Amino acid sequence: MRAVQGIAVAFVTILAGAALAAPDATITLQGDVNPAVSISGVNANLSLTLVPGNGVTTADANGICVYSSSPGAQYTLDIASTSNGGDFTLDNVDDTGVTIGFTATWDDATTTGNTVTVGANAGPFIGTTDVSCSASNAALHITPVQADVDTATTGHYTTTLTLTVAPI
């Protein structure tokens, strides 16, 4: 009889457990898409013509593409320079302390000639929402200051610019 009671208790326990289990379950999935941005197509080397009294040539970095996942493909642009002058300047590598200033303008997908300054987040600008960035939508234009070129000493002038884009 004890064996039968043990089986009956086990059977009742199994039935009670089955009655407590739900026939279905719900899982909530959540995720975030963080803003993303990228820049591509930047020409790594630009040459300038620096002729005293004879005009200067604007160097153009065309063919740039900026992708942004932000609404309206908006982004900001920050340009940093390695020059000693702190602003947009070309440093004479042969004569320390001699610089030639320049201006920088940025074209985005909708506007041209947007003046940018060193270390200032410029924008908002418009890029593309096409993650493959298959067509250019931006350009950087560098124009040396003629008065600086006219008074500059002979030498090789250089700087390195770092362009950083950020989603809005």
How do the domains of the chain map onto residue ranges?
Answer: 37-167
Residue 9 phi, psi dihedral angles, 5° rounding: -65, -45
pLDDT at 6: 46
| CA gap 88, 82 in Å, rounded | 9
pLDDT at 143: 92
CATH 1.10.4190 fits 37-167, yes or no: no
- Pairing label, strands 122-126, 114-116: unpaired
Kindly tell me if the per-residue pLDDT of 55 is higher than 60: yes
- 101-105 mean pLDDT: 93
pLDDT at 19: 56
pLDDT at 30: 95
pLDDT at 9: 46
Across the chain, mean pLDDT equals: 87
Single-letter code of the amino acid located at 6? G
pLDDT at 87: 84
Q: For 39-52, what is each residue's pLDDT tens digit? A: 999 988 888 889 89
pLDDT at 38: 96
Residue 161 parent element (H or E): strand 161-167
Q: Collapsing DSSP states into helix, strand and coil, what is residue 7? A: helix
Q: Collapsing DSSP states into helix, strand and coil, what is residue 1? A: coil
- Pairing label, strands 157-158, 37-40: unpaired
pLDDT band for 165, please (50, 70, 90 cuts).
Answer: very high
pLDDT at 58: 85
- 141-161 mean pLDDT: 93
Q: Which residue has the higher pLDDT, 48 or 67?
A: 67
Preceding amide of 124 cis, omega within 30: yes
Rounded to two decimals, the pTM is 0.79
**DSSP state, residue 131:** T
> Where does 1-98 show beta strands of DSSP type E?
37-40, 59-68, 74-81, 89-92
Structure tokens at 153: 């000493």
101: nearest Cα among 67, 135, 151, 166: 151
Share of the chain above pLDDT 90, in %: 67
pLDDT at 21: 77
Residue 110 phi, psi dihedral angles, 5° rounding: -125, -20
Structure tokens at 13: 């326990």
Kindly tell me if the per-residue pLDDT of 16 is higher than 60: no
